[in-house]
Amino acid sequence: MGAVCAAGSGVAAGSAAVYEGKDCLTPLSIFESGLKNAPLSGQIENLQDSYKSPNRTIALACIAASEALAAIKNRQGLSFGLVFATTVGGITRSELFYKAYKADVNAASRAAQELAYHEPCAASGFLCETFGLQGFFTLSTACSSGLHAVGMAKRLVEQDVFDACLAVGADALSLLTIRGFSSLMLIDPTGCKPFDRRRAGTSLGEGAAAMLVASEKTAETLGIAPLGHISGWGATADCHHMTAPHPTGEGAQKAVAAALSEAGLAAKDIDMIASHGTATPDNDRSEIAAMKAVFGGLPPFFSLKRTLGHTLAASGILEAVFAVCALREGVVPPTAGFEEADDNVGAAPSMCRKKTMRHFLKNSFGFGGNNAAAVFSLSNDAGAL
Amino acid sequence: MSLKPFSVRGFAAVVPASDSAWQAEIPAHLKRRDPRIWHMAYVAVARLLKDAAEPPRSMAVGTALGALDETKNFLDGIFKDGFGSPKNFIASVHNSMAGKLALEFKIDGPNLTLCDGQNSFASAVASCAMFPSSAFPCLVVAVDESVPLVNELVSHLSPACAAYLADSTREAAIALLLDRRALPQQPAIRAIGPVPLGSREPGALAQSLAARFEDNDTSPLVIPLESCRSFVSAPLLVHERLAAGQAGRFIVPSFSPSSKACAAVEICL
């Protein structure tokens, strides 16, 4: 697994911040947002890019992919694929170019170089070239993308399309997303407070995460011990509203049920929920309503949005990476930003605690009513992180 | 790996360049609010599902740029007035179109949007193999539109982009209804998702992908890569073959200059 985010570069650094419930949000400074007050964001201030990446999203993806592949010494004769998930693709560079072009039409002469990596699939091509991957899919289902990428990678391996498949989710902070979420009044200027009575919106972040998905047989050939098992994946659509979640989370319930069914597990088998937990009033209420419908009494749950920011297409896989670490360590992470329970939500996230666990559920929900759920389990022969 | 085909239960298209009537089919409640590319997708799907015996349970949408014009409109608002419209922002998100189609046609199963440039259609067809059997029939939509800003910049873009923009069929919406079961007398389709060029030329890679569909006795007609330049060339060529109904096996390759990768779709009639 690999990760880079506001909580640090590398899975170990990020996990430490997650277990601690650290608040890693800082006033946005990596670009001028044009907003009256710089919103608290999960930004990476000194991004170290040794890949000469053509844009920030690709730089983040390369850092995460590199860490996930670091343990592989020899993969000769094995085919490695990629499922890459992004929401913004190359917009960080395109929006700067467009601003310059609006100011001066002569900037058009730079269009070929500035827009060459605009398309989301340009990042996939770059990752394949950099890491020697043999095929790919580029997925963009907004905030649920990263978790769907994990599910797709699982299928591609199960169906022998690839011997191993790298799932990567990456999104850089951009003017488009900061101003877009702001226009929808979905950003809490004081920083997000998941599931809290005072919650007033989310906080955006940037980052990337990667998981190398392989069968046990391939893992053995590669000489690596599995860190966890992807037991089930569920995908549904709400068919309710373009941005608001279904009040009782019907689509989310069905996605969770599908993931549990594929995993061959019952709700009572789930030891922990790594929630989507964006901290918008509607989303948190809807997610808990859906989880109550599935689970009855909820297992311990947490949100990492105050620790990492909402990293959009990266969020599902990034938070799953840290939840896999938590599962292995037997730690239910705390929810930074949460202080006061909300009667309208009717459930409070867990305080940090130790617990023997075997399976956890990860939820991710996106614009357009797109729902992803996945169940992760401990492997019997789990390796060291 | 064996590439299992899907049965094609139905197909429809909107090609604005040769179809002046399509806009009359946009329902009033969508007409004012939604972007043009969503309208194209909506009408193609409505035409497909008008006589469908069974509604789709899942969806895979392939689009290179999505509603790029909405991104431009949102940024215009910020740069000009200091405020971007939330309507433009929502529409700018690549998968909003798929969410809208799910909402309008009540398709509550898996819903994926694949953004692989010229290979988006192949990606969408190939991704259906990842859905459970309960998610079929599956709706596949390939859609892209001509974007004025991109046309404005054409002379400054790379030769490959300029070639794409010279293509007269650069915008269309194509909708297919696929089934996992092999249905007698129904056309069959299968696809190989994007494969990076590496050290190969696009034409050579396209030929090698065509050879991967080898588990079939009939010799295929492989469409030259030069005929498949635009974002929607591949799905349009598949739609043409389906509409012609002429028996045969056809392989339609595609190449994305942005990702430097080829993909291929096979259709058997």
Domains within chain A, CATH numbers bracketed: 2-377 (3.40.47.10)
Please state, in angstroms and as integers, the Cα–Cα distance from residue B220 to each residue in A148, A191, A193, B226, B253, following that order. Answer: 34, 59, 59, 17, 12
Spatial separation of the C-alpha atoms in residues B255 and B251, rounded to whole Å: 13
SS (H, E, C) A328-379: HHCEECCCCCCCCECCCCCCCCCCCEECCCCEEEEEEEECCCEEEEEEEECC
| A112·B113 Cβ contact <8 A | no
Spatial separation of the C-alpha atoms in residues A60 and A68, rounded to whole Å: 13
Is residue A276 part of the annotated active site? The answer reads yes
- 8 A C-beta contact, residue B193 and residue B263: yes
The pLDDT of residue A381:
53
Look at residue B218 and tell me whether its pLDDT is greater than 80: no
Spatial separation of the C-alpha atoms in residues B59 and B136, rounded to whole Å: 9
Amino acid present at B182: A
What percent of chain A has a predicted confidence (pLDDT) above 90? Answer: 94
Spatial separation of the C-alpha atoms in residues B251 and B253, rounded to whole Å: 6
Look at residue A384 and tell me whether its pLDDT is greater than 80: no
Quickly count helices (H) and strands (E) in chain B: 10, 9
The pLDDT of residue B18:
93
Q: Average the pLDDT over B98-111 and give the result.
A: 98
Residues A76-98: tens digit of each pLDDT: 999 999 999 999 999 999 999 99
Torsion angle of C-alpha atoms B81, A91, B30, A237, degrees rounded to 10: -130
Spatial separation of the C-alpha atoms in residues A299 and A167, rounded to whole Å: 27
Nearest CA to B74 out of B57, B61, B62, B87 is that of B87
- 8 A C-beta contact, residue A194 and residue A338: yes
Residues B48-82: tens digit of each pLDDT: 999 899 999 999 999 999 999 999 999 999 999 89
**pLDDT grade for B2, boundaries at 50, 70 and 90:** low
The shortest CB-CB distance from A239 to any of B66, B85, B107 is to: B107
Look at residue B212 and tell me whether its pLDDT is greater than 90: yes
- Which own/partner pairs from A112-117 qualify as long-range (CB within 8 Å, at least 24 positions apart)? A112/B156, A112/B157, A112/B158, A112/B161, A115/A90, A115/B153, A115/B157, A116/A54, A116/B158, A116/B258, A117/A54, A117/A55, A117/A58, A117/A89, A117/A90, A117/A93, A117/B258
The pLDDT of residue B229:
87
The pLDDT of residue A379:
84
CA distance A21 to chain B (A): 31
Q: Average the pLDDT over B209-233 and give the result.
A: 88
Spatial separation of the C-alpha atoms in residues A5 and A42, rounded to whole Å: 7
Residues A38-70: tens digit of each pLDDT: 999 999 999 988 999 999 999 999 999 999 999
The pLDDT of residue B14:
98
Spatial separation of the C-alpha atoms in residues A236 and B106, rounded to whole Å: 11
**Phi, psi (deg, nearest 5) at residue B185:** 65, 10
Spatial separation of the C-alpha atoms in residues B150 and A17, rounded to whole Å: 43
The shortest CB-CB distance from A108 to any of B84, B89, B153 is to: B153
Is residue A118 part of the annotated active site? The answer reads no
Q: Average the pLDDT over B153-172 and give the result.
A: 79
The β-bridge partners of A310 are A204
Q: How many CB atoms lie within 10 A of CB A237?
A: 28
- 8 A C-beta contact, residue B194 and residue B256: yes
Spatial separation of the C-alpha atoms in residues B100 and B107, rounded to whole Å: 10
Q: Which of A5, A24, A62, A143 is catalytic?
A: A143
CA distance A356 to chain B (A): 32
What percent of chain B has a predicted confidence (pLDDT) above 90? Answer: 83
CB of B251 less than 8 A from some CB of A: no
The pLDDT of residue A225:
92
Burial class (CB in 10 A: 0-12, 13-18, 19+), B148: exposed
The CA-CA-CA angle for residues B229, B232, B238, to 5°, reads 100
Burial class (CB in 10 A: 0-12, 13-18, 19+), B56: buried
CB of A353 less than 8 A from some CB of B: no
For residue A353, how many C-alpha atoms fall within 13 Å in the half-sphere facing its CB?
12
- Note the helical H segments in A207-355: 216-222, 250-263, 281-295, 305-308, 315-329
Locus of tokens 């010279």: B166
> In chain A, positions 213-252, which contact chain B (CB-CB < 8 Å)?
235-243, 251
Sign of the dihedral defined by the CA atoms of residues A212, A217, A219, A225, in that order: positive
Spatial separation of the C-alpha atoms in residues B128 and B138, rounded to whole Å: 7
Spatial separation of the C-alpha atoms in residues A12 and A18, rounded to whole Å: 10
> In chain A, positions 259-278, which contact chain B (CB-CB < 8 Å)?
262
Spatial separation of the C-alpha atoms in residues A168 and A318, rounded to whole Å: 9
- Which own/partner pairs from B160-164 qualify as long-range (CB within 8 Å, at least 24 positions apart)? B160/B257, B161/A112, B161/B257, B163/B229, B164/B118, B164/B229, B164/B230, B164/B231
The pLDDT of residue B1:
56
| A124·B117 Cβ contact <8 A | no
The pLDDT of residue A264:
97
Q: Average the pLDDT over B252-256 and give the result.
A: 96
Locus of tokens 């979640």: A245
Q: What ipTM describes this predicted complex?
A: 0.97
Spatial separation of the C-alpha atoms in residues A81 and A210, rounded to whole Å: 13
Q: Which pTM was predicted? A: 0.97
Helix (H) / strand (E) element for A81: namely strand A80-85
- Which own/partner pairs from A69-76 qualify as long-range (CB within 8 Å, at least 24 positions apart)? A69/A2, A69/A131, A69/A166, A69/A210, A69/A212, A70/A2, A71/A224, A72/A212, A72/A222, A72/A224, A73/A223, A74/A222, A74/A223, A75/A164, A75/A222
Residues B183-197: tens digit of each pLDDT: 888 999 999 999 999
Nearest CA to A31 out of A206, A267, A240 is that of A206
Amino acid present at B260: K
Mean pLDDT of all residues belonging to chain B: 93
The pLDDT of residue A310:
98
CATH node for B6-179: 3.40.47.10
Q: A237 contacts in B (CB within 8 Å)?
A: 59, 98-99, 102-103, 107-111
Look at residue B84 and tell me whether its pLDDT is greater than 80: yes
CB of B30 less than 8 A from some CB of A: no
CB of B132 less than 8 A from some CB of A: yes
**pLDDT grade for B210, boundaries at 50, 70 and 90:** very high
> In chain B, positions 57-96, which contact chain A (CB-CB < 8 Å)?
59, 64-66, 71-72, 74-76, 78-79, 82-86, 89-90, 92-96
Residue B258 DSSP SS3:
coil
Is residue A241 part of the annotated active site? The answer reads no
What percent of chain A has a predicted confidence (pLDDT) above 70? Answer: 98
Residues B111-144: tens digit of each pLDDT: 999 999 999 999 999 999 999 999 999 999 999 9
Domain boundaries, chain B: 6-179, 188-268
**Phi, psi (deg, nearest 5) at residue B214:** -85, -15
The pLDDT of residue B216:
66
Look at residue A105 and tell me whether its pLDDT is greater than 50: yes
Helix (H) / strand (E) element for B122: namely helix B120-127
Residues A237-274: tens digit of each pLDDT: 999 999 899 999 999 999 999 999 999 999 999 999 99
